[in-house]
Structure 1
């Protein structure tokens, strides 16, 4: 496992060749201070946002098209097409 400092430099990490789907996409969601709903805390700038709690329910976001597309990309071993997933060491 990489040192924590490397993990949290998410947008500047080198791209990697990890093809295993990220388990967090099926386990959790993060709600940011502005209502942004994110699948991962690695993406603290909300590039992967799946909605906003002020505009939809958690269930709508969890089952929504954006989250579904992200999960499908990971399952199809296309993690490298998702920024910043392509830089995550986990």
Structure 2
């Protein structure tokens, strides 16, 4: 029988991003993420594609934006969960 994954491995994400040019000055970045608890999380997001930028620049920018958004979402979830626990 295989050992259970270490708890940190269960929440570690594998993430890929692929940028495609959209309207002038924008791009669609397709993000695919997965971990032990979520086999697949996939979505597209629109981001700016500045003149002279290459796909890896745009993909990196999208991932940084996602990182900041998820940090804020995690903080809000923690706050909301704390409120619910206090309310019983």
TM-score range, shorter chain: 0.3 to 0.5
Structure number with larger C-alpha Rg: 2
* TM-score using structure 2 length: 0.34
State the TM-score, normalizing by the size of structure 1.
0.34
Q: When you count strand as a share of all residues, which structure comes out higher?
A: 2
